[in-house]
Structure 1
Amino acid sequence: MSSILAIIAAFLGSGVVIGTPIQQAAGGYLDADATLVAPGTGAFRIWSLIYAGMLAYAIWQALPAQRHDERQRRLGWWVTASLLLNAVWIFTVQLDLLWLSLPVIALLLAVLCRLFVLLRRSTPKSRVEAVVADGSIGLYLGWVVIATAANAAAVLTAAGFRGFGAAPEFWAALVLGVASAVGIALALWGGGRIAPTLSLCWGICWVAIARAIDEPRSELTAVAALLAAAAVIAATAFARFHHDRRGRG
């Protein structure tokens, strides 16, 4: 029940139904045209899928058949913590506390990484569990990786960071490289799990789209984003191939 309430609070606080949309809150520093690493507006449609997946997981996990499942008991409180942190992040932005949003989303990313570790330690017992648990949490994690990068860029921009004389494209490529490195690490350690790669690359590709057709325009950043996404996809395919090969061995 706490997970469901956290999802509802986050959905309402995001401004989808009432209030200010997240992209317009906090001085607009999280909007698609605020920084070079901000994903295009279309990227945020993924939240509908993430919320639907996490709601499905919360309901499925509460069913009588799962109440004594050791895997779900290990995941439960961490999932609830992630959803509560997501709601806290949304409300910090709505209250124009952009500086506070960065440590909150960093903590959210740490919690989701912990969930990924727990998921990796055991295998789902059914295809349904693989989709609603591993798949939903994986999508959530991958998106938060790129969201954390964009959030960090927004906070630095709002604080007046000028890059120590280096070109903005250099810093954008560096941030995208870090996000890509995290995605590659998740792919290699996770045996090529698809869900985190899908949502992370979705976000990175929307950075490329935004920089190619929206302001601030930056072809160099668009190319860097596409290369970052390609690296994550290649690492995932490599890890998946070797994971499946070991499984057949």
Structure 2
Amino acid sequence: MSAQAATAHPTTARSTDIVRQIGVISAVSFMLIAAVVGVGALGGTPVQDLQDGALSASGSYLAPATQAFSIWTVIYVLMVAYAVWQALPSQRADARQRVLGWWIAATAVLNGLWLVSAQFTTLPVTVIVIVLLLVTLGWTLHLAVQNPPHGVRQALFTDITVGLHLGWVALATVANSTAWLTQIAPAEWAQAADAAAIAVIVVVALVGAGLALASGGRIAPGLAMGWGLVWIGVGRAAGEPASMPIAIAAWIAAAIVVLVPVIVTAVRFARNRT
């Protein structure tokens, strides 16, 4: 659907709109239940202890320190807030909800499926699921950019929610994939761990900068990526496996992914004023 189409505000609700609202609530509910299972609250194994510890803060050279995962609380709160907000009668026939609603629901389902796959399947399956989640989030942000928000609430409940989710999952995909490769790689590959990890961090910084340019300077993805990179640096500087070169590279990349969207926004604002 085009941006012009999504700016229209139809006044007649369809039966499919109610189905969409219920679908979003159901998807977010599934995600929350999976999260409760994932932290071990219902008798399951906590995520950091799954897959022989491969998903823990010391599972690989690109695993963030434990404190980084507190961002999930922010993402979950925003997802719940979105589910409640989009269920309001005022949002039922909103054109932007018709564009984004099912895609955001899909990200919630894939989020929950990752936790289920981590709990009950194998590490390669978790990589497949998180890549699918990353692609779905990327497409959802693309749709949000093509159909700009109208007002603070639309920006908060959709763009910021999706942006933070995307930025963090981009980092989580790197950590998840690295954890898997660490498990299957020959022991002698450890000698090149610093160089390989720094190369990946450079790619992450480029991806973060690319997201900022493609999204017109949206800062939420960069903030989430920067948060994760900072804690990767902390993990390598103060934890195991230790590597100060990786820590420094991660901190530099964090500054890049946060500053680029700020610069893009400032340039765009300056051009609009002239």
State TM-score, norm by structure 2: 0.87
Could you say what secondary structure the match of 2:148 adopts? coil
> Which residue does the alignment assign to 1:151?
176
Structure 1 residues 135 and 165: alpha-carbon distance in aligned structure 2, compared to 1, 3 A threshold:
closer
Q: Is the 8 A contact 1:43 1:203 kept in 2?
A: yes
Unaligned residue ranges in structure 2 (runs of 5+): 1-24
Match of 1:5 in 2: 29
What per-residue deviation string (whole Å, max 9, x for no partner) do you get for residues 9-46 of structure 1?
Answer: 23222215232111111111011011110000000000
Distance 1:128 1:110 in 2: 25
Residues 192 and 157 of structure 1: CA distance in aligned 2, closer, same or farther (over 3 Å): same
- How does 1:88-99 map onto structure 2 within 5 Å? 88-99=113-124
Contact 1:183 1:232 in 2 (8 A): yes
Paired with 1:163 and 1:235, the residues of 2 have a C-alpha distance of 37
Query: Structure 2 CA distance, aligned partners of 1:165 and 1:47?
Result: 30
2:250 corresponds to: 225
8 A Cα contact 2:208 2:221, kept in partner: yes
Give, in whole Å, the separation in 1 of the partners of 2:90 and 2:188: 54
| Pairwise CA distance, 1:173 | 0.8
For the aligned residue pairs, the C-alpha RMSD in angstroms reads 1.5
Match of 2:99 among 46, 60, 74: 74
How far residue 106 of structure 1 moved from its aligned partner, in angstroms, is 0.5
- Offset of 1:197 from its aligned partner? 0.9
How has the CA–CA distance of structure 1 residues 246 and 67 changed in structure 2, closer, same or farther, with 3 Å as cutoff?
farther
SS in 2 for 1:167: helix
Paired with 1:241 and 1:20, the residues of 2 have a C-alpha distance of 46
Any idea what the Cα deviations from partners look like across 1:35-68, whole Å, max 9, x if unmatched? 1100000000000000000110111111111111
Q: Which segments of structure 1 move beyond 6 Å, counting only runs of 4 or more?
A: none
Q: Contact 1:14–1:90 at 8 Å: present in 2 too? A: yes
Q: Which runs of 5+ in 1 are unaligned?
A: none
Q: What secondary structure is seen at the aligned counterpart in 2 of 1:31? A: coil
Separation of aligned partners in 2, 1:197 and 1:23: 25
TM-score, with structure 1 as normaliser: 0.95
Q: Which has the larger radius of gyration?
A: 2
Match of 1:86? Answer: 111
Distance 1:126 1:26, change over 3 A: same
Q: Deviations over 1:73-114 (max 9, x none)?
A: 111111111111111111111114111111110110000000
CA drift of 1:190 comes to 1.2
User: Residue 239 of structure 2 corresponds to which residue in structure 1?
Assistant: 214
* Letter paired with 2:74: L
Following superposition, the deviation at residue 163 of structure 1 comes to 7.0
Question: In the TM superposition, what is the alpha-carbon distance from 1:180 to its structure 2 partner?
Answer: 1.5
How far apart are 1:174 and its partner, in Å? 1.6
Contact 2:31/2:108 (<8 A) preserved:
yes
Alignment size in residue pairs: 249
Structure 1 residue 181: Cα displacement: 1.5
